[in-house]
């Protein structure tokens, strides 16, 4: 209900998140992070995990930050334009400033929480469930006060994400239906669907989202990286080739995840092929195929002489 209230007034979504929710969230998380640095739980211990980086990367997919950034970027850009920013140096400078502040904030929060997890690795047993791990660590660090602070911080974190996602999806539904479904009706439909899913609990949501993220995250990261490159380096073939290969690799991860959940495994030949791809052990099996797809797709597109419709649509955006 709270997220619906914040999202219903589309023109004030950014103000409500930026002026109220985010400062409170950063303040509370900052207290936990600084506390963990000044009074660490212990020293990092060997947990026996064979590939900790891969585990951390794939588990980090659950945050949804990449897709959250892509979705919420729509709201930010519209807010910029509503405040009088037009494509040009001032517009680009403001976007880079926003990106820098976001990076520093995320680096501080996630770096601090990672430090908390590392220093607490020898304190808790491996049987602690994923959903309660952070709560247990903060409880060990700061007792009941810390646990209550974390509870409020988690509530605010979920609320900011819920508000942004609800607003974006409400707008998408309005555009997809060509106005037959209003923005407010879309927001209410999204809120009701989210409410029903929430009754399943954290573990249910994580289990439901994991295969979807495994499928979509490679292409999401590829889109972000391509979006940062100068447009002179790109054509439609680069985008299409990279996207197709990223989706193919994501499909493999999706099927492998579903097979594992059902007690099965991928065919040995496929697993061997997958494991021979460089960086597969680190969770980046999709990276080199996506790069190759972009290069081959760009070359074929250039040789074909076809127009770059995507680049033409981007002419109204500020130049790098």
CA angle 134/136/137 to nearest 5° reads 65
Query: Both ends of the chain: CA-CA distance in Å?
Result: 41
Percent of the chain past pLDDT 70, that is, above it, reads 90
Of 306 and 242, the structure prediction assigns the larger pLDDT to 242
pLDDT value for 87:
75
Task: Mean pLDDT check: name the lowest of 104-118, 119-133, 176-190.
Answer: 119-133
- Judge whether residue 288 has pLDDT over 60: yes
- Judge whether residue 318 has pLDDT over 80: no
- Judge whether residue 169 has pLDDT over 90: no
Q: 277: which DSSP letter?
A: S
82 pLDDT tier (thresholds 50, 70, 90):
confident
pLDDT value for 295:
94
- Judge whether residue 319 has pLDDT over 50: no
User: CB–CB of 210/62 below 8 Å?
Assistant: yes
- Judge whether residue 31 has pLDDT over 50: yes
pLDDT value for 265:
84
Tens of pLDDT, residues 180-203: 888 889 889 988 988 888 887 777
- Judge whether residue 283 has pLDDT over 80: no
> In whole angstroms, what is the distance from residue 239 CA to residue 249 CA?
16
pLDDT value for 62:
67
Alpha helices (H) in 177-201, listed in sequence order: 183-198
- Judge whether residue 314 has pLDDT over 60: no
Task: Give the pLDDT mean for 111-138.
Answer: 80
Task: Give the pLDDT mean for 153-164.
Answer: 78
Q: Count helices and strands (H / E) in the chain.
A: 13, 0
Q: CA of 37: how far to CAs of 50, 56, 110, 122, 213, in Å?
A: 27, 21, 13, 16, 31
- Judge whether residue 174 has pLDDT over 50: yes
Q: 232: which DSSP letter?
A: G
pLDDT value for 317:
47
Query: Which bin fits 178, alpha (ψ -120 to 50), beta or left (φ > 0)?
Result: left
Tens of pLDDT, residues 40-54: 888 887 777 777 777
Residues 6+ apart with CB under 8 A from 162: 3, 7, 194
Tens of pLDDT, residues 219-274: 888 988 898 888 888 888 999 999 999 999 989 988 888 888 788 888 888 888 88
């Amino acid at each position: 209900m709270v997220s619906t209230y914040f999202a219903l007034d589309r023109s004030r979504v950014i103000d409500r998140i930026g002026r109220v929710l985010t400062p409170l969230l950063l303040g509370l998380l900052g207290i936990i992070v600084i506390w963990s640095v000044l009074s660490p739980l212990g020293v990092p211990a060997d947990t026996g995990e064979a590939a900790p980086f891969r585990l951390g990367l794939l588990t980090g997919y659950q945050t949804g930050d990449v897709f959250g950034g892509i979705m919420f970027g729509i709201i930010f850009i519209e807010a910029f334009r509503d405040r009088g920013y037009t494509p040009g140096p001032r517009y680009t400078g403001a976007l880079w400033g926003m990106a820098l502040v976001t990076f520093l904030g995320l680096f501080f929060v996630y770096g601090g929480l990672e430090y908390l997890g590392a220093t607490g690795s020898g304190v808790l047993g491996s049987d602690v469930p994923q959903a309660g791990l952070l709560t247990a660590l903060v409880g060990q660090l700061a007792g009941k006060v810390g646990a209550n602070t974390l509870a409020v911080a988690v509530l605010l974190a979920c609320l900011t994400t819920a508000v942004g996602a609800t607003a974006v999806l409400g707008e998408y539904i309005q555009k997809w239906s060509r106005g037959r479904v209003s923005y407010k009706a879309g927001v209410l439909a999204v809120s009701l669907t989210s409410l029903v899913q929430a009754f399943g609990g954290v573990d249910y949501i994580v289990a439901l989202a994991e295969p979807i993220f495994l499928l979509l995250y490679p292409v999401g990261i590829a889109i972000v990286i391509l979006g940062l490159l100068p447009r002179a380096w790109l054509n439609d073939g680069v985008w299409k080739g990279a996207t197709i290969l990223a989706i193919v690799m994501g499909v493999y991860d999706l099927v492998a995840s579903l097979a594992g959940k059902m007690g099965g495994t991928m065919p040995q030949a496929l697993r061997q092929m997958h494991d021979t791809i460089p960086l597969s052990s680190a969770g980046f099996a999709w990276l080199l195929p996506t790069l190759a797809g972009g290069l081959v797709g760009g070359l074929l597109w250039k040789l074909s002489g076809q127009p770059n419709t995507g680049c033409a649509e981007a002419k109204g955006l500020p130049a790098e």
